[in-house]
């Protein structure tokens, strides 16, 4: 292992800290922070090492002029306080699991103590709705993981910080093996962690269902929905309504899934896997819409985001003319939020929309069709206009959010959908 070879240079093998020496009651310490891989950066910047070809010379150079990770390891070994140590390479949670297995101990990790570099906090929250998930599975961003007796842990952490200017955090403690492996969340809930891979139990991850068509080009449809769900830390499930042959040029063909099979897909998902939120996209025909609405009512699937897909980017129709009424009568009354662009809003309302005032009128008109909230997306406003989206909840004056991008397209609907199970309180004006 990396530490075994380089950590203490020419130190005898018996002086190198193993993974099997940890004891119940020991504290768990980690150097570094998520997104702050100081040792890796220092190694890349060390041109002497980068231009050295001899393996033995590299080993001696790392011993004599160690990178931060190696210097930390030398201090830990020289202090004779740590009981076990591992160089983090598979992720914090996975490598902590190696110590537990080799030392025959359990563990309790405190999520709020997991160190995250300040610049990465927003990124971690956006990806998973919290900071601790990436902190546990963040690969090699941390440097060293080690254990020490409770009476010596604080002093050892302070010494390493003082002599290497490296952040050292105490993130938990070791338990008897019979108590298993636990993660204590910031709200004090205790989540059991599986022994292999340290994967958080499925019940802790929110589940979102997309009911939409397949885009063979991968830029829209269920493919784009599932990518967005994954990026938001949501477990994605799908029900196909249609298969399309399409690419960046246009739609070359559409094959509709029979309505009874669409319904069967919904039954399969809802009867086995809990659904925390639902989004609809391309629904194609009136019979499919009727079947979907019936299953949403039967399984009480909510919250529901309706993206009223009617036309592809290239102008190809994706919704039959007779399906408009079914969409309005069957699906919109069930929607938590509906997210039409200007073309779709015009098709629903029956009048032209080219100004902010017409967008307001459209939002109010669509709201009267039954959805709790309406977002009219202004990405298709004239080029000289700002990209403006209106959110109307039926009670207040329509709220305006000025988009930072001129064309949010359907990403907005997918992202709003994946936020629903993560943030149950609707935040007006901030989709």
CATH of the domain at 274: 3.40.1190.20
Kindly state whether residues 159 and 237 are assigned to the same domain: no
The residues, any chain, with a CB within 8 Å of residue 392's CB and separated by 6 or more, are: 360, 363, 364, 367, 373, 374, 375, 376, 398, 399
Q: What is the mean pLDDT of the chain?
A: 76
Kindly state whether residues 327 and 273 are assigned to the same domain: yes
pLDDT bracket for residue 420 (50, 70, 90): low
**DSSP conformation class of 332:** G
Give me the pLDDT at residue 68, please.
53
For the chain, the residue count is 431
Residue found by looking up tokens 């063909």 in the block: 253
Last residue of a domain, one of 201, 217, 240: 201
Kindly state whether residues 21 and 166 are assigned to the same domain: yes
Q: Establish if 163 belongs to a structural domain.
A: yes
Last residue of a domain, one of 163, 184, 201: 201
**35, two tokens:** 């997104």
Cα 422 from Cα 408, distance rounded (Å): 21
Q: Establish if 334 belongs to a structural domain.
A: yes
Give me the pLDDT at residue 312, please.
62
- Virtual torsion, Cα 109, 111, 113, 116, nearest 10 deg: 120
Residue found by looking up tokens 């309302």 in the block: 349
DSSP assignments along 38-86, one per residue: HHHHHHHH-HHHHT---HHHHHHHHHHS--HHHHHHHHHHHHT--SEEE
**321, two tokens:** 């003319």
Q: Establish if 426 belongs to a structural domain.
A: no
Kindly state whether residues 239 and 378 are assigned to the same domain: yes
Cα 403 from Cα 389, distance rounded (Å): 7
DSSP assignments along 222-282, one per residue: HHHHHHHHHHTT-EEEEEEEEEEEE-SS-EEEEEEPPHHHHHHHHHHHHHHS--SEEEE--
Domains: count for the chain: 2
237 contacts 208 by C-beta, under 8 angstroms: yes
Kindly state whether residues 46 and 11 are assigned to the same domain: yes
190 compared with 33, residue with greater pLDDT: 190
Cα 109 from Cα 113, distance rounded (Å): 8
Residue 184: φ, ψ to 5°: -95, 115
Kindly state whether residues 27 and 130 are assigned to the same domain: yes
- CATH code for the domain of 101: 3.90.650.10
pTM above 0.85, yes or no: no
Kindly state whether residues 350 and 212 are assigned to the same domain: yes
> Is the bond preceding residue 303 a cis peptide, omega within 30 degrees?
yes
Cα 117 from Cα 36, distance rounded (Å): 6
pLDDT bracket for residue 284 (50, 70, 90): confident
Kindly state whether residues 138 and 156 are assigned to the same domain: yes
Kindly state whether residues 78 and 139 are assigned to the same domain: yes
Alpha helices in 47-194 (DSSP H): 47-50, 55-64, 68-79, 92-103, 121-128, 132-137, 150-164
Q: Establish if 424 belongs to a structural domain.
A: no
Which stretch of 54-63, 228-237, 267-276, 330-339 has the lowest confidence by average pLDDT?
Answer: 54-63
Give me the pLDDT at residue 123, please.
63
Kindly state whether residues 234 and 107 are assigned to the same domain: no
Q: 296 is in which domain, residue-wise?
A: 205-419
What is the number of other CB atoms lying within 10 angstroms of the CB of residue 116?
Answer: 21
Q: Establish if 430 belongs to a structural domain.
A: no
Residue 245, CA distances (Å) to 215, 223, 225, 251, 286 in order: 7, 13, 18, 6, 21
Last residue of a domain, one of 135, 170, 201: 201
Kindly state whether residues 184 and 222 are assigned to the same domain: no
pLDDT bracket for residue 37 (50, 70, 90): very low
Q: Establish if 428 belongs to a structural domain.
A: no
Task: Of 258, 266, 264, give the one whose Cα is nearest residue 238.
Answer: 266
Percent of the chain residues past pLDDT 90, beyond the cut: 31
Q: Establish if 282 belongs to a structural domain.
A: yes
pLDDT for residue 238 is more than 70? yes
Kindly state whether residues 294 and 178 are assigned to the same domain: no
Cα 164 from Cα 170, distance rounded (Å): 17
Which whole number is the average pLDDT over 96-122?
83
Q: Establish if 409 belongs to a structural domain.
A: yes
């Amino acid at each position: 292992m990396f530490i075994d070879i380089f950590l203490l240079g020419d130190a005898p093998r018996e002086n190198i800290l193993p993974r099997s020496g940890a004891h119940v009651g020991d504290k768990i310490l980690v150097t570094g922070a998520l997104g702050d891989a100081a040792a890796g950066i220092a190694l890349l910047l060390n041109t002497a090492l980068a231009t050295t070809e001899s393996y033995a010379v590299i080993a001696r150079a790392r011993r004599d002029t160690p990178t931060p990770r190696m210097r930390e390891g030398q201090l830990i070994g020289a202090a004779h306080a740590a009981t076990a140590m591992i160089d983090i390479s598979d992720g914090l949670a996975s490598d902590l699991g190696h110590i537990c297995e080799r030392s025959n101990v359990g563990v309790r990790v405190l999520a709020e103590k997991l160190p995250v570099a300040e610049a990465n906090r927003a990124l971690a929250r956006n990806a998973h709705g919290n900071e601790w998930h990436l902190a546990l599975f963040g690969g090699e961003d941390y440097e060293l993981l080690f254990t020490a007796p409770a009476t010596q842990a604080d002093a050892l952490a302070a010494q390493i910080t003082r002599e290497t200017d490296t952040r050292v955090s105490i993130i938990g403690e070791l338990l008897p093996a019979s108590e298993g492996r636990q993660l204590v969340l910031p709200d004090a809930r205790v989540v059991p962690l599986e022994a292999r891979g340290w994967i958080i139990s499925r019940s802790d991850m929110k589940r979102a269902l997309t009911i939409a068509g397949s885009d063979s080009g991968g830029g829209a449809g269920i493919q784009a929905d599932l990518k967005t769900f994954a990026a938001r830390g949501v477990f994605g499930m799908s029900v196909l309504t249609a298969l399309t042959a399409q690419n960046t040029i246009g739609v070359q063909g559409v094959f509709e899934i029979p309505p009874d099979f669409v319904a069967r897909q919904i039954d399969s998902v809802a009867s086995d896997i809990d659904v925390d939120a639902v989004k609809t996209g391309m629904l194609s025909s009136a019979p499919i819409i009727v079947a979907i609405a019936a299953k949403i009512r039967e399984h009480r699937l909510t919250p529901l985001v309706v993206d009223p897909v009617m036309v592809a980017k290239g102008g190809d129709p994706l919704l039959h003319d007779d399906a408009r009424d079914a969409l309005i009568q069957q699906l919109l009354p069930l929607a938590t939020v509906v997210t039409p662009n200007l073309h779709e809003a015009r098709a629903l309302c029956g009048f032209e929309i080219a100004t902010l005032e017409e967008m307001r009128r459209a939002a109010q008109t669509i709201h009267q069709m039954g959805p709790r909230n309406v977002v009219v997306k202004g990405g298709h406003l004239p080029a000289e206009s700002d990209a403006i989206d209106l959110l109307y909840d039926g009670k207040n004056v329509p709220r305006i959010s000025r988009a930072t991008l001129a064309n949010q397209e359907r990403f907005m609907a997918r992202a709003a959908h994946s936020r629903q199970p993560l943030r149950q309180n609707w935040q007006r004006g901030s989709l």
